[in-house]
Amino acid sequence: MSYRYEDENTPPEPQRASEVAITTHEHVYEVDPRLMELHVLQQTFPNWDTLRIMHARHDHLEWMHHHFAHTTVTGSELIAEIEDPR
């Protein structure tokens, strides 16, 4: 968390990700603010909370994998084994 209030409530400069989405923090996608002017109003959101939600989502998905199986086999491993069966 930053020392200054303004720092903590100012996300990184947005980058365009698609015609309707932007990114702020790495891996954090948001709807283009121009599309949220009539029916959904935006609010100031602290950086630490944005990152907490993103990390919590990742933790949740990781938990779900372990809940259903002990390990996860990846597709890239299998492709490598098919292409180089040694």
User: Cα dist. 70→5, 10, 36, 66 in Å?
Assistant: 43, 40, 42, 5
79 makes contact with another protein (CB under 8 A): yes
60 makes contact with another protein (CB under 8 A): yes
Identify the residue whose tokens are 């098919």: 82
Query: Which residue type does 18 have?
Result: S
Of 13, 32, 12, residue with least CA distance to 21: 32
Residues in contact with another protein, shown as a per-residue x/- string from 19 to 58 under the rule CB under 8 A: -xx-----xxx-x---xxxxxx------------------
15 makes contact with another protein (CB under 8 A): no
Closest to another protein by CB, 22 vs 47, is: 22
Closest to another protein by CB, 2 vs 72, is: 72
